[in-house]
Chains A and B, each alone.
Chain A
Amino acid sequence: MSGATTKSGAAAVSKRKHQDNADQSKKRRKSGGAEADDASETINPKAQLEKLESEILESRKHFNNIVTLLELSRKESQDENSDLAATETLCRVFLQLLAMRNLVQKKDALEKEATVIRWLRERLADYRDVLLSMFQSDNLANSALMQAMALMKAESQYLDDRPEAVFPRYFFVDIVSAIITSPVEELREQFSEAFVDKYDDIRFYTFDSIAHFLRAKKQADQSVNTAFEMLIGIQDPPSSNDEIDKFYINPPSKKKHPLRSLSQHKKQAQEAWLALMHFGLTRDQKKKVLAVVSNSIAPWFTQPELLMDFLTDCYNSGGSISLLALSGVFYLIRERNLDYPEFYTKLYSLLDADLLHSKHRSRFFRLLETFLSSSHLPAVMVASFIKRLARLALNAPPSAIVMIVPWFYNLFKRHPLTTFMMHRVSRTPEEKELYETEGLVDPFLPNEQNPMETHAIDSCLWEIVQLQSHYHPNVATIAKIIGEQFTKQAYNTEDFLDHSYSSLFEAEMNKEVKKPPVVEFMIPKHIFTKADTVTGETDSLLVNLWDFGSS
């Protein structure tokens, strides 16, 4: 910069600013009056912006135009497009300035020079603030994000005189915080789609920033929830160091750099999650976490044991959360050799009245199938599970019955001792006589907590026999398999897991009516009305119990 302008730099700036402001306000007024109906009007501010931009880039004399632009972009106006245009111009300006290394602080620089650089840096900070504030606006947020990211990239390369790019961590923390606090849902989507999912370094620093943000928080509020949403949206971890190869900002050349190490990535993720869990989770959040814990969250942890307490707490809390926590617990058991005392007792207690009505039913059953697939389990315990589920099936929807009966079949095949539950011939005549005179009380103890002591193996599956006369023909047919010869090796339970009322109904409706359906051969004389007592007819149950207005 020449000395002429720097002498009274601030004054000149302010003056020009004032002028420009006046200009601008004039224009505003104009354009405010005629809005967008006149094309020439809208071009004018653009032309002005272009002029400002080219002037800045032309010579240092016009650096004060930056302030004008900042003013323009900061202005609260109805026409957001003009704001946008101003910020875009600013973005271009700064990118170019950065590329021209105008913002690099040199050690041997003159004082004047240093002042200008300092001043420029301050303006750059101003511009950042403008961008971050734009994150709050519905329309501008997305483009602001793109500008911010572009700016960040340029900064990382040109802000310092270093040969290697440095990730501008603090700026990124600000960006992430702004994203979290922003009310714009699309912004987060855009961010995770275009950056977090794409670039490994962005993900790395996002974890870092979220952790940073959360640690700074004193108490939970809405932003914690959004942070949670962001974290849960992050995909599964890469499987090895080699897979970390997509970088937004030029990657560090060092091989040992944390950005290149998977364990460091995981560590960041773990930090973020722990920071989040520090606030405690709501019930819904817990459900969400538990639904993906074994697939998406636990793999991010370098020490999944840290999740142990959380998972066991959830597992013990009962209800659907228990069902969901099971997969996490199982993950720990499998991966970390977690020793869960009385696991099967706990599992047995999960088989409560709501289980077969739960929407997590099939998920639970996949796991249950895994747990009971060992042929080394005691038959007594397996029998308890079978009997308990059979009891539950008495009050279960058809889709659940369809699911458990083939599974029973597989268990019977695997544990032949349990087949006594289907076929128990009384050996002695005394026994037979006892049955004749006193009947039989089911020896099964439904309220016993320990599956080893329920006496289920001495019981019989009357429940399933009753379901052989279920109202739904397919269910009835499936229930009949326990009475037929066990010729099949095993049923593929997966085929039976995902059914519901509507899927069963759809299956029925998909059958085309080709054959004329059978019609009741008698036309009832009375449907809603009372039967004549004279003819000796009896009222139907419906008429007996319901008032149809006649009588």
Chain B
Amino acid sequence: MAGSQLKRLKASLKEQGIIGPQKSKKQKRQNAQDAKASTDKRVQRHEALASIREQFNPFQFKTSARGPKFEVTTNKPVTAKEAMGINGRPGITKAMGEERRRETLLVEMQQRNKVGGLIDRRFGENNPNMSLEDKMIERYTREQQRAHKKNSMFDLEDDDESKGGLTHMGRSLFDDDDNDVPMKDDFEGEELPSDEDDEDVRATQRALKRQRLEEVLDAAEELDEEQPQRKKTKKEIYEEIIAKSKLHKLERQEAKDEDTELRQELDKQLPELQRLLFSRNLPANKQDDKPQLLIAGKEKAAFDKDYDLEVKKLINDTRAAPTDRLKKEEEVAEEQANRLKELEEKRLKRMRGEPVSDDEDEEDEKKKKKKGGDDDEDFDMEDEDVNEFGLGEGIKYRPTATELGFDDEDDFLIDDDLVASGSELEFDSDDIEDGKESVEGESGSDQEEEDDDDDEFTKGLLTEAESKDSIFQMPTNTKGNDKDGIPFTFPCPQTYDEVVAVFKDIEVPKLPIAVQRIRALYHPKLGPQNKEKLGNFASALVRHLQYLGDRSEQSWLPALEAITRHIHSLAKSFPIEVAKSYRAVIQEMEQQRPLALTVGDLVTLTAVGTTFPTSDHFHQVVTPAMLVIARYLGQKIPQSLPDYATGTYLSILALQYQHFSKRYVPELMNFSLNTLCALSSTKPSSHLGFFPIHDPVPGIRLSKSSSSSEVSEIRKLTFQDCSQPSTPLTPSQSLSLKLSLLNTTLTLLKSASETWHKLSSFTETFSPALKVLQQLSFPSPLISPKISDLSTSLSRLLQIAKLSRRPLELHHHRPLQIKTYIPKFEDSFDPNKHYDPDRERAEMAKLKKEHKREKKGALRELRKDNAFMARENLRVKKIKDEAYHVWEKRTKAMIQGEAGQQANQYERERKARKNKR
């Protein structure tokens, strides 16, 4: 809309109909007649004018010069104002502020320095919307109500008397809340405390309201009837909509009710259905039919109780489930194979040092637990498999459990030879029995009785599968000892000393039987403490193994083997106890005799190697054990042939430890090559390699002169060779020992070279060995074929190693990214927002900002207050001055008038006198 301000004003005035073409006299008259319409019109006119004024006042709105900050799409029509983006209405806010001040500040100002005074609490006194009559009526009703309600002046219960309570400066002492609020006219707020409780008033009000509403509705209906074709107002449309939605709601409600009814009916039928479902599993439940029939006849309480019981039973019931399908042979086999595969994978993972994931571990543990508990069943099944697959022939596509040596302890009795070989040994059982009986004499009978009970108890407790199992089969005569002189019952030894005490009367080869009996007697299933007991027993047994090893004879070895296997199977149930015990034994070796290991130590280390997986990257028991072995091999400078034998045994053991993972043991090479150098008849003349050579003690070298005829055959080494002989060896004995040492070392080197042939530095590792073989002489016809054999195999492997060697390419890594320090960009950056990464600092900044804003606001308000007060004072002063001036003027005028009169009078008098004269 172009044009000047004036033109625009005119146009808008015309638009609003305030100015227009002149009206005829008739029209004017008509208008004048219609008084009501005229007031309406006047109001309308007023409004229109106000809006026009507003529109044309450029200071009415605070707008941003650049227009609105954000574009907004709305369905509302966009006015010019909105398009401009109004930030505030200074005029209005100013007026509002002024008003508020007048209400509060002004009142305070006026009351300043004044004590007491009257507060007008009359109802409706300050309400301009009430006529005098209304006011009077209202006051009268209130008074009546109060009088009606209050019967006694001293009624303390009456709590609507708060207004009449103690006051100070016109305020109640007790209502703290209203302290800040300026006094209100009591009637203004509906929430008068005295009204609040006044039920009667409210009830009447509600009744009145309802009545009025009904009247209005009636009137509307009448109106509707009168003018059906009238265009509906918005209100009516809404009402219609509401009505419709209510109707829909009702319909939905009804539908829902129907549904619930149906459901309830179904629920009533449910118990019968359930009975049908579960009656198959629970024959006992058939009795329940009876109470069901008698429901009517029964007492309600009894019925309810029955019902609750029934529900409980149902809760505890196992859900109906299809029974496990009997697996086919292939499936069982596959499962088994899968399990083995999984275990193998885990082993490989551990070997690479990757962490086995936790849940897997848990699974593992679960499995272990399961094994601890149910292994008997498991293995029963496996046995069946074995039987079934044992018949089969052809290609074995999967290793059976027994072939893998996978059977658990249950296998021990099946392994008859352990027992049988034991019985071959003769010993005078009488002596032992006598001793035993004298020891057990007193406690014997009691114990045996107990054991009888125990036996019965066991029989009842064990499942069929378990009792069938050999391990739980108690020999029938539990009294006394068996034919080998081993008692059938033992106390479960808890400490090493107890183990020694218990086993001291038992021949070592028979020990496995005793161990087995203890394990059977204290099987964890048979008593709650047995688990702990067996754990202690297991760790004590580990120590005993070492003890036995130290005193071992060749004939004990099967027994030691059996004990080792017992420990192994115990370790499955008690891994921590056994591991700790092994670690303690190993620690003792390391601290007390790192370079003088005994046969018992060797046995223990062997047992460690079979009990725990030696291929693991790290293992709590194997790693220390390996360190002990390596230390002996690396640091021991052998002083005698037994030292060499011990070292050789440890070398074999080390190689066997690394058999699977093929890890390199430098000490093994050092020791073996050193042994060869020491046993050769000549001192190595030239540089053989980078392994340290210790000059042997005299008497170790093979003498050139010794005729090999003394020894016709090379024997294997035994544990006896590892311990210092009580009598010095005869030349022939020592020669044979040397030869067997040589032989073993050569074989060991061969298998080491086969184990490690894939290692990247095979050439450097084994070419010294070849050099040793070629340069040193071993004057024995028995050995030379071995040497040539090893030489050829070594040179072949070295050739292969040479062919397979490639330059190293270790660093095919992705190139490293250069670190960037470019600042991070925010996609939607808001300058008002703090992107402070420090949370506390950001919080602080926020608070500070708020504080500043508040302070500014408060200052502004104070300034405005001051201005207001100044203005008010000025106004008051002006009024005062005005009044004074008026008074002064009047007084002056009066005086002047009087003076004039007097002057006139005087003048007149003088004239008169003059005239007289």
Contacts and interface: CB of A to CB of B under 8 A. Distances in A.
Q: Is A bound to B?
A: yes
Interface stretch (A74-82, A195-203, A323-331, A461-469): A461-469
A9 B282 CA distance: 135
Contacts of B617: 473, 476
Given A394-B690, A471-B665, A536-B403, A519 B806 contact: no
Interface in A490-525: 501-502, 504-505, 508-509, 511, 513, 515-525
Interface stretch (B311-319, B743-751, B829-837): B743-751
B557 A465 contact: no
Contacts of B765: 394, 466
Interface stretch (A48-56, A245-253, A422-430): A422-430
Given A439-B803, A442-B764, A501 B631 contact: yes
Nearest to A397: B634
Given A395-B691, A471-B663, A542-B652, A527 B594 contact: no
Interface stretch (A20-28, A294-302, A361-369, A481-489): A481-489
A381 B653 CA distance: 40
A468 to B, nearest CB: 9
Interface in B605-663: 606-607, 610-613, 616-621, 623-624, 626-628, 630-631, 634-635, 649, 652-659, 661-663
A549 interface: yes
Interface string A334-363: 000000000000000000111001000000
B594 A501 contact: yes
B654 A471 contact: yes
B555 interface: yes
A110 B797 CA distance: 105
Contacts of B569: 523
Between B564, B802, B805, the greatest number of chain A beta carbons within 10 A of the residue's beta carbon is seen for: B805
Contacts of B760: 462-463, 465-466
B405 A523 contact: yes
Contacts of B610: 520, 524, 527
B406 interface: yes
Contacts of A549: 554-555, 557, 718
A422 B664 contact: no
Contacts of B764: 391, 394, 442, 462-463
Nearest to A535: B403
Interface in B710-748: 715-719, 744, 747-748
B343 A517 contact: no
B562 to A, nearest CB: 9
B718 A542 contact: no
A357 to B, nearest CB: 5
B620 A517 contact: yes
Interface string A526-542: 11110000011100111
Contact of A422 (B353, B653, B759, B811): B811
Given A465-B760, A520-B612, A529-B557, A395 B690 contact: yes
Nearest to B620: A517
A435 B666 CA distance: 28
Contact of A424 (B557, B655, B808): B808
A93 interface: no
Chain B interface size, as a band, is 35 or more
B667 A397 contact: yes
A536 B719 CA distance: 27
Nearest to B582: A517
B102 interface: no
A253 B801 CA distance: 81
- Quick one: which of A398, A469, A517 has the most chain B CB within 10 A? A517
A513 B575 CA distance: 10
A396 B411 CA distance: 44
Interface string B756-770: 000111111100000
A421 B716 CA distance: 45
Nearest to A532: B417
A170 interface: no
25 contacts: A353-B690, A395-B666, A397-B630, A397-B635, A423-B808, A447-B687, A466-B762, A469-B662, A469-B664, A471-B630, A473-B353, A505-B627, A508-B627, A509-B587, A509-B590, A511-B620, A513-B580, A513-B620, A517-B621, A520-B611, A521-B343, A521-B406, A523-B568, A529-B557, A537-B405
The 4 lowest CB-CB distance pairs between A and B, nearest first, are: A549-B554, A547-B716, A439-B803, A516-B575
Given A357-B692, A518-B350, 16 more contacts: A423-B810, A423-B811, A435-B806, A439-B801, A439-B803, A441-B802, A462-B764, A469-B661, A473-B618, A505-B590, A505-B631, A509-B587, A517-B619, A527-B606, A547-B717, A550-B558
